Amino acid sequence: MKASIPDGYWQDREGRLIPEVMVKPIDRARDEIVRELVEQARHVSSVLASFKTKAFADIGAFVEMSAEQYGVKLGGIKGNVTLLSFDGRYKVIRQVQEYLVFDERLQAAKQLIDECIQSWTASSSDEIKALINDAFQVNKEGQINTARVLGLKRLNISDEKWLRAMQAIADSVQIAGSKPYVRIYERVVDSDQYQPINLDIAGV
């Protein structure tokens, strides 16, 4: 349990008790503005959390109600949904972003790709080699970039070993989890374009 601070004292970053009279006016002013902003931020965060909960609940309830017209019970968040206002001015999108990882079969794919490169030494382009090397590099968290690895499947290469490697990549993909998002848009006047109503403090 955190010890209370005696009256007439302030506690500094190192936990030392400083007599209030020794705290400089500029330090008092800094502390005040920081605490005010933190309190406001907590309120805004709470409002956003409540909005997010309500938005998912409302969208889910509407999707269920719509499905019930056809005698279907969905149950839970399933897939992406786009809802438009009657006049088309507003758009609400519920997206479910899946997080992909690769299992041990990716190692087989990498081995097959390495064998392909060795046999293509004379004919393979430096660009393809660079793409392959880049795809299998790990980031700071020690993870392989899934988009880059899956991007190899778009290369138009008909080599039998390469195709086996691409199949190994496809088989190794596993869904590690998913995260739902709600995005809200308003149509730009006299256009078919929509701009987001930003709920991210960095984008406001």
Give the per-residue pLDDT at 97.
84
* Tokens (6 digits) for 144: 């392989």
User: Residue 203: pLDDT above 70?
Assistant: no
**Average pLDDT in the 88-106 region?**
90
Give the per-residue pLDDT at 196.
93
Domain ranges of the chain: 19-77, 79-204
**pLDDT tens digit string along 68-87?**
888 887 766 667 899 999 99
Please give the distance of CA 35 from its chain centroid, rounded to a whole number: 29
Higher pLDDT, 21 or 72: 21
- Rounded distance, CA 93 to CA 85, Å? 12
Higher pLDDT, 138 or 51: 51
User: Residue 15: pLDDT above 70?
Assistant: yes
Task: Label residue 40 by pLDDT band (50, 70, 90).
Answer: very high
Task: Label residue 178 by pLDDT band (50, 70, 90).
Answer: confident
**pLDDT tens digit string along 127-162?**
777 778 788 887 666 678 888 888 888 888 888 989
Give the per-residue pLDDT at 54.
94
* Tokens (6 digits) for 188: 């730009």
Indicate left, alpha or beta for 156 from its phi (over 0: left) and psi (-120 to 50: alpha): beta
Higher pLDDT, 183 or 1: 183
Give the per-residue pLDDT at 93.
94
Provide the residue count of the chain.
204
User: Residue 172: pLDDT above 90?
Assistant: yes
**Average pLDDT in the 62-66 region?**
91
Torsion angles phi and psi, residue 72, rounded to 5: -110, 135
**Average pLDDT in the 181-188 region?**
93
Give the per-residue pLDDT at 143.
74
**Average pLDDT in the 108-121 region?**
85
Give the per-residue pLDDT at 67.
87
User: Residue 1: pLDDT above 60?
Assistant: no
